[in-house]
Structure 1
Amino acid sequence: MTRPPRVVVLAGGVGGSKFVLGVRGALRARGDDDTASALTVVVNTGDDLWLSGVRLQPDVDSVTYALAGVNDSERGWGRRGDSERVNHELQQWGAGWPWFTLGDLDLGTHLARTGWLREGLTPTAVLERMSHRWDLGARLLPMTDAEVDTIVELEDGARLHFQEWWTRHRATLPPAGFHNPGIDRAAPAPGVLEAIAAADVVLLAPSNPVVSIGPILAVPGIRDALTRTPARVVGVSPIIGGKVVRGMADVCLTAIGVETSAAAVAAHYGARGAGGLLDVWLIAEEDEAAAGDVAGLGIRPLVTPLWMTDAARSAALAETALGAADV
C-alpha cells in the first residue's frame, strides 16, 4: 500500500482516548505526517447530557483534549490545570449537580458548543469547528447528530441518566438495562458510513462494550456498515487478566448477561463470518488461555501486551492492531 492506510476507530471514554492517541502515534511513526486525512474517529455520544443550560459531550471532549495534549491524564477527564471557580459558584446557587465537577476551561468548551448549537449548527459541524483550534491529527465524528443520552434502568424500576448512575453512585445501584431513547430513529452522523465503507481497517477501541461502543453500534446503519465493509475489523479487549482496566464495565457487562472475560466480550461482538463484527480480537498476555475459545468463535485471536501505560506502549498496541489487518 503506497498511501497511508485509511483507519476508522470506534471509541469512547478514557481507554478509547488513549488508544486513539496510540493509533495517531503509530501512523506518525510510519512517516505519515498528515494523519488527519488517514484517521477518522467515530466517538460515542451516548454519555452526552444537558446540565446548567449547556450541552456536555464527555467522550467527545475526552478524545479531543487527549489529541490536543491538554487533557488531565491523572483524573482521566477534563483539562489539565483547570480551576473550578465557576463550578463552586454554580453550587452556591444550587444549580447543576454538586457531585459533577465542571472545570472553568471545560465550561468554556461547553459554552462555545452550546452557543453554536443554538445558532443552528449540528453536533457534527460543531465538532469540526472545535477541531480547528488544535492540530488533532484526526477527523472526529460524533456517532450521530441526534440526542440519544443513555438512561440506566435500575432493578427497582427507577431510571437515571447514565452520568448520575456512573459519577454520583459509582455504578453501585444494580442496573437492569441501558437505554438510549430515540436511537432507533437516529441516523449516523454525516461521513460515518462513508468512512467505514472506504476504510482499510476498522478498529474497536478497548472502550466499555456496553455504554461506549454499544451506543455507536445501536445507531441504525452503523452495525450493517461494519458487516459490509471490505476492511478487516480488529477489536482490542478491554479486559486484562479477567478484570476491567478502568471504570465499571464489569457491572455493565453483568447487567446484559456477559461474563467479564476476554472471550466473553469477543462473543458479545461476534465473528463477522457468523453475522457479528470481528475478524481479529487482540487479547492480553494475561488472557492467553482464552485464545482457543476466541478462535472457536471464528475470530482470529492475537495475544499481545494491552497495557497502555505510556505513549510508546499505546502506539505499539495500535501498530499491532494495524498489522493484524495487514495495513
Structure 2
Amino acid sequence: MSRVVTLTGGVGGAKLVLGLMQICPPEQITAIVNTGDDFRHLGLAISPDIDTLLYTLSGKANKTQGWGREGESWSFMDAVKSLGGEDWFLLGDGDLALHVLRSHLLAEGETLSAITARFASAWELGLSILPMSDDPVATHLTTSEGDMPFQRYFVECRCAPEVEAIRFEGAERASATAGVIEAITDPATKAILIAPSNPWLSVDPILAVPGIKEALAVTHAPVVAVSPIVGGQAVKGPTAKLMGEMGLAVTNESIAAHYADVIDGLLVDERDDASGLTIPHDVTDTLMKTLADRERVARAALALADRIAG
C-alpha cells in the first residue's frame, strides 16, 4: 500500500491534509505535526497544531478563522475573567474537552502520540496523525521585547515584536515519535509533502528533532514543499514579516534556499514569478479557500512529486 507523508503545522497544513483526504484513502496518509507550539495554560496541556488538524479533518473547525471549534461558547473563559485569570489565550467550552482529557491522560502516563491516535480514532479520521515527538520541544523567540515562548509572541503579542533569533528548547534531547522515521523512509512512501506552514516557526521545529532531517535526506521518496508565499505575501501569520526581519526577500527563491538540503521540488503560486528557481517546480493557484481548492493543491503537489520520481 502506497503512502503519502506530510510535515505540517496548523491551519495551512490542515487544509493540505484535508485536500489529500479527498484523493487518497485516509489509511495511506501520515501527518507529522509540529509540537513546538505546545504549552501549558491554566494547568492544561495545549497542542494547537494537533488540535487544528483534528478539528479540520473532522469537520469541527471554525470555518471563518480555520482554528478552534465551530459554534463555540465561552462560559468558561467568562468565569476565568471574572476571577482575574489570564484571558490572552482563549479556551472555548467545547475546546476544553480535548485539553482536559489530554491533560488527564498524560498524567495517567499515556504518550501524546497515543492520546492523539485515540482522539483521531474517536472521530473516525482514518489517517495517522503523529506528533513530531513525545518529548517536550518548545519554540522560543528572542525578540525586541525580550525572550518569549511561542504562544506569548504569537497570540498575546500578535507577532508584533521584531524577531532576532529562534530556538527550539529540548529538541536536541528529543526523539522522533515512533513511526515518524519509518513513515519517511518506508519504501511504500511515494511522496513527502511539506505543507505551506511557516518554515521557521512550524516546520523547522520538526526538522530540529534528531533523525527527522537525516531521514528526509536518505528517503527514496520525492520531498515537495508547498510554498507559503502567495503574491509576494504570506496567506496567514507572520511569515513575510519574519522573513523581512531576518533580511530575506519574500520570494520563492528564499523558501527554496531555506529548504535547500531537504526538498526536491517546490510548488509555487501562479501569482509569483518562479523563473529564478533552480530546483524542479510547478505553478498552480495555491490559495485554499474551498474544499476544491485544497484538493487541487494536493493533486498538484503529488503530480510534482510524481514528475520528480519519474
TM-score by length of 1: 0.90
8, 17, 23: which one aligns with 1:26: 23
TM-fit CA distance, 1:311 = 0.3
1:8 corresponding residue in structure 2:
5
5+ residue gaps, structure 1: 28-34, 271-275
SS at match of 2:275: helix
1:267 corresponding residue in structure 2:
257
129, 142, 154: which one aligns with 2:131: 142
Q: Give the root-mean-square deviation of aligned CA atoms.
A: 1.3
**Matched-pair contact (CA < 8 Å) for 2:120–2:126:** no
CA pair 117-165 structure 1, distance change in 2 beyond 3 A = same
Aligned pairs for 1:174-323 within 5 A: 174-198=162-186, 199-270=189-260, 276-287=261-272, 289=273, 291-295=274-278, 299-323=279-303
TM-fit CA distance, 1:255 = 3.9
The 1-side partners of 2:68 and 2:52 are apart by 7
**Matched-pair contact (CA < 8 Å) for 2:37–2:150:** yes
TM-fit CA distance, 1:76 = 2.1
AA matched with 2:194:
L
The 2-side partners of 1:164 and 1:129 are apart by 29
103, 119, 124: which one aligns with 2:108: 119
1:32 corresponding residue in structure 2:
none
**Matched-pair contact (CA < 8 Å) for 1:67–1:137:** no
TM-score by length of 2: 0.95
SS at match of 2:160: coil
2:120 corresponding residue in structure 1:
131
Deviations, residues 80-118 of structure 1 (Å, cap 9, x unaligned): 1010101111122223x3121110111111000000000
Q: How many residues align?
A: 305
Is residue 148 of structure 2 the alignment partner of residue 160 of structure 1?
yes
Deviations, residues 219-245 of structure 1 (Å, cap 9, x unaligned): 111001001000000110000111011
TM-fit CA distance, 1:200 = 1.3
80, 86, 97: which one aligns with 2:70: 80
Q: Between the two proteins, what is the percent identity of the paired residues?
A: 39
AA matched with 2:12:
G
SS at match of 2:165: strand
